[in-house]
Amino acid sequence: MSSLPKLSKDLLEELLKSSELDWEILEDGVTKLRKEFKFDTFEDAVAFVDKATQEISKHNHHPDIQISYNKVVFTTWDHEAEGVTQKDLDLAKSITLLF
């Protein structure tokens, strides 16, 4: 079981707004956070993922990452908590700061 509690959707919306993180909330049976980043080239997108993986490893919390030409999509949630926890918010902030 996750050591951090799952955040309610209302609290998550409030925390995203107050932190100015523009990640979207996905609901597909499990609440998740998602963010798409756009780049000029495929090489720029891959370089960003490479840079982000170093930060992601520090958090020991690994999002799904999708690369589609010049777009990178990160989706994060805690599998054990079956939803979004503070770890996901911390990870989202770290990834956003790299952009």
Give the pLDDT confidence score for residue 58 in this predicted structure.
93
Helix (H, G, I), strand (E, B) or coil at 50: helix
Read off the pTM.
0.92
Hunting for tokens 């720029």 — which residue is that?
Answer: 44
Q: Please state which of the four CATH numbers 3.30.1360.20, 2.30.38.10, 3.30.260.10, 3.40.50.620 is assigned to the domain occupying 9-98.
A: 3.30.1360.20
pLDDT tens, residue by residue, 7-27: 999 999 999 999 888 999 999
HSE value, Cβ hemisphere, 13 Å, CA-based, for 2: 17
The domain locations on the chain are 9-98
